[in-house]
């Protein structure tokens, strides 16, 4: 459970970092080399990993306080929070509240960062006078927006609803979307911008 949560949240923060990269590249292209220096990129990476691992540790410590009476078989793709809460015979209401509010902070913060970045990008692109310039700027963001839509669409479906609406089959499919399909599609989606790939 620890690694599942840590890696999923790291992905979320890295998507936000990539949105910031695109924001700087499109809105401040002359300052890009100064703003996105390797040291700043490394700090964003380390911050993403640190916050994600602390979040995962907190979540696992919360789950370790639960007691389980019946079956210990989780009918899910991974050992995730909702299936474990569903198996517990303890009162999970406080855990559900903490998990929901804490998930809001960890998932919504990077999502809002991405949203703000793309709103600024849209405003900047609309000011570009030439159609070719607008197309070039939007094509820079297309692959990232595709990955963000796949990732956050399935994450929001799985995590932002009450435990009473939990469905084993539907959640398993949605979890596979953001844990397997999105990372597997990343190389293909991001290579669509590659000129050699377009010609081939």
Domains of the chain from N-terminus onward: 2-190 (1.20.1070.10)
* CA nearest to 167, candidates 153, 179, 180, 157: 157
Task: For residue range 56-94, list pLDDT tens digits in order.
Answer: 898 888 888 888 777 677 766 667 777 777 777 777 777
pTM: 0.82
Torsion sign (Cα): 35, 36, 41, 42: negative
Residue 83: helix, strand or coil by DSSP?
helix
CA distance 135 to 125: 9
């Amino acid at each position: 459970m620890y690694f599942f949560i840590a890696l999923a949240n790291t992905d979320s923060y890295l998507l936000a970092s990539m949105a910031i990269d695109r924001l700087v590249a499109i809105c401040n292209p002359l300052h890009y080399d100064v703003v996105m220096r390797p040291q700043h990129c490394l700090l964003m990476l380390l911050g993403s990993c640190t916050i994600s691992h602390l979040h995962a540790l907190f979540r696992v410590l919360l789950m370790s306080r639960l007691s389980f009476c019946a079956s210990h078989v989780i009918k899910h793709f991974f050992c995730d929070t909702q299936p474990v809460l569903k198996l517990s015979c303890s009162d999970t209401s406080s855990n559900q509240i903490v998990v929901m509010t804490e998930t809001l902070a960890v998932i919504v913060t990077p999502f809002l960062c991405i949203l703000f970045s793309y709103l600024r990008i849209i405003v900047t692109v609309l000011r570009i006078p030439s159609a070719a310039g607008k197309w070039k700027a939007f094509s820079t963001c297309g692959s990232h927006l595709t990955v963000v839509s796949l990732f956050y669409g399935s994450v929001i479906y799985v995590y932002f609803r009450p435990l009473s609406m939990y469905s084993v089959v539907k959640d398993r499919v949605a979890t596979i979307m953001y844990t397997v399909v999105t990372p597997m599609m990343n190389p293909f989606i991001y290579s669509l911008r590659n000129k050699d790939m377009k010609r081939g």
